[in-house]
Amino acid sequence: MNPFLLKGYKNPEYFCDREKEKEKIISSVRNEQDITLFAIRRIGKSALIHHVFYYLRKDFDCVFADIWGTTSLNGFINEIANAVIQSSVFSKRSISKKLTDFIKSIGASLSVGIDGKPSLDIMYHDKNQAFKSLEEVLYFLDNNKLPVILAIDEFQEIKKYNDSIPLEAKLRTIVQKCQNVRFIFSGSEYHLLTDIFSSFNKPFYQTTRMMELGKIPTNDYRKFILNHFSIGNKKIDNSLIEYILKISYQHTYYVQAICNYLYGQSKMPNSISEFDAIYYEYIEEKRVFYSELPQRFTKQQFSTIKAFARMGQVKSPTSADFLQLAEVTGASSMQRIMKALLDKQVIIKENDIYRLYDVLLEHFLKYVS
């Protein structure tokens, strides 16, 4: 099998480093502190939570709820309830009575999907009823035999719910009451998460330990990559690994994607230029994803994106040279464009330097388009 996973989590063998972060989360959980884990997209938040679960699953029942794509309180509760029934809380034997009681208490209906997995559907007509069910779900976990870890991934989504409901206040009240449940909130939109957890006038103000996830250090990632290529009897030079880490800005998903592709080749490249030739084919395949890009942006936004692709990292987008390259006249126009591209998460700012968020897009525009 290809050791460079492109989604999810398997076991520690395919997971690089994160030792300090793992220990910190484990110690928080054991000391009954709730955590907020935040980081840029595709850096490894969700995988890290599963990694921690791997080590704690004997002592805790672990529930992982991903609320990405939910748009309302109703969707939120559905995801949490479904995560609960698919977790180890219910994977043990003689659960049927426990399960039916749970389903009844939250007013849900159960169906079994084609994959044989049970799923719940809950529809609320008013928010009090919904809050009541949310309480039921969490009090159910609070009464679980083993202590429970409930991870709510993409937690910033609750900020986008359109119904005017006091979810944060309600949730905080319930969370405070659950002695048997440790919460891990995680997400990627920094301003939304800080609004929830670091605003003085908000219910969750300083209720959790904030933890930012950075990049995997170069040395650790290099060793990890080298080790897996050598286990697979594939010869790869140290300098090529350095090169891959450099062109991907050590952004986890992109490192994985490039290594996964390279690992899948029957013949390993002997030089950087041989690698480039192989890699070009991979980037070329991305055309289907990126071909409609120009239509999604204004002309100037798109020419700025292309200028970013050519430069890689940009320290000062309003400098004369960059304005010229981007075919934008005037620093104030560029400021507007930058704001739009940052808001759309096309561009990311890392240590005061800007680059395209999507590394493969950078390479596509640079080498192929």
Ligand X SMILES: Nc1ncnc2c1ncn2[C@@H]1O[C@H](COP(=O)(O)OP(=O)(O)OP(=O)(O)O)[C@@H](O)[C@H]1O
Under the criterion CB under 6 A, does residue 87 sit at the interface with ligand X? Answer: no
Is the dihedral angle over the CA atoms 170, 174, 177, 181 positive or is it negative?
Answer: negative
Under the criterion CB under 6 A, does residue 256 sit at the interface with ligand X? Answer: yes
Task: Classify burial at 159, counting beta carbons within 10 Å of its beta carbon; exposed 0-12, middle 13-18, buried 19 or more.
Answer: middle
**What distances in angstroms separate CA 164 from CA 67, 71, 106, 135, 159, one per listed residue?**
18, 12, 22, 19, 10
Q: Coil, helix or strand for 163?
A: coil
Taking contact as CB under 6 A, which single stretch among the options 5-13, 289-297, 317-325, 347-355 is the one that binds ligand X? 5-13
Smallest separation, CB 255 to ligand X (Å): 8
Size of the site for ligand X (CB under 6 A): 21
Residue 170 near residue 207 (C-beta atoms within 8 A): no
- Single-letter code of the amino acid located at 362: E
Distance, CA of 119 to CA of 117 (rounded, Å)? 6
For residues 126 and 343, which CB has a smaller minimum distance to ligand X in the complex? 343
Taking contact as CB under 6 A, which single stretch among the options 34-42, 233-241, 285-293, 325-333 is the one that binds ligand X? 34-42
Is the dihedral angle over the CA atoms 359, 361, 362, 363 positive or is it negative?
Answer: positive
Distance, CA of 223 to CA of 368 (rounded, Å)? 31
For residues 92 and 160, which CB has a smaller minimum distance to ligand X in the complex? 160
Smallest separation, CB 221 to ligand X (Å): 8
Smallest separation, CB 360 to Mg ion (Å): 18
7 binds, among ligand X, Mg ion, none (CB under 5 to 8 A by kind): ligand X
Candidates 43, 62, 175, 225: give the one binding ligand X (CB under 6 A).
Answer: 43
Smallest separation, CB 160 to ligand X (Å): 15
Taking contact as CB under 6 A, which single stretch among the options 40-48, 189-197, 317-325, 337-345 is the one that binds ligand X? 40-48
Q: CA angle, 164 as apex, 163 and 169 as ends, to 5°? A: 115
Under the criterion CB under 6 A, does residue 25 sit at the interface with ligand X? Answer: no
72 binds, among Mg ion, ligand X, none (CB under 5 to 8 A by kind): none
Under the criterion CB under 6 A, does residue 46 sit at the interface with ligand X? Answer: yes
What residue spans of the chain are helical by DSSP H? 19-30, 45-56, 73-85, 96-106, 127-142, 167-177, 190-197, 218-231, 238-247, 252-263, 272-284, 287-290, 293-296, 299-311, 320-326, 331-343, 359-363
> Which residues bind to Mg ion, rule: CB under 5 A?
45-46
Task: Classify burial at 230, counting beta carbons within 10 Å of its beta carbon; exposed 0-12, middle 13-18, buried 19 or more.
Answer: exposed
**What distances in angstroms separate CA 280 from CA 273, 304, 333, one per listed residue?**
10, 23, 34
Under the criterion CB under 6 A, does residue 172 sit at the interface with ligand X? Answer: no
Q: Give the nearest residue (CB) to Mg ion.
A: 46
For residues 261 and 302, which CB has a smaller minimum distance to ligand X in the complex? 261
Under the criterion CB under 6 A, does residue 363 sit at the interface with ligand X? Answer: no
Under the criterion CB under 6 A, does residue 45 sit at the interface with ligand X? Answer: yes
Distance, CA of 327 to CA of 332 (rounded, Å)? 13
Under the criterion CB under 6 A, does residue 279 sit at the interface with ligand X? Answer: no
Residue 352 near residue 315 (C-beta atoms within 8 A): yes
Show the tokens assigned to 62: 């672990």
For residues 36 and 46, which CB has a smaller minimum distance to Mg ion in the complex? 46
Smallest separation, CB 54 to Mg ion (Å): 16
| Angle subtended by helix axes 19-30 and 45-56, to nearest 10 | 60
Residue 63 near residue 84 (C-beta atoms within 8 A): yes
Smallest separation, CB 153 to Mg ion (Å): 6
Smallest separation, CB 207 to Mg ion (Å): 22
Under the criterion CB under 6 A, does residue 36 sit at the interface with ligand X? Answer: no
For residues 205 and 289, which CB has a smaller minimum distance to ligand X in the complex? 289
Under the criterion CB under 6 A, does residue 193 sit at the interface with ligand X? Answer: no
167 binds, among ligand X, Mg ion, none (CB under 5 to 8 A by kind): none
Binding site for ligand X (CB under 6 A): 5-8, 15-18, 39, 41-47, 188, 216, 252-253, 256
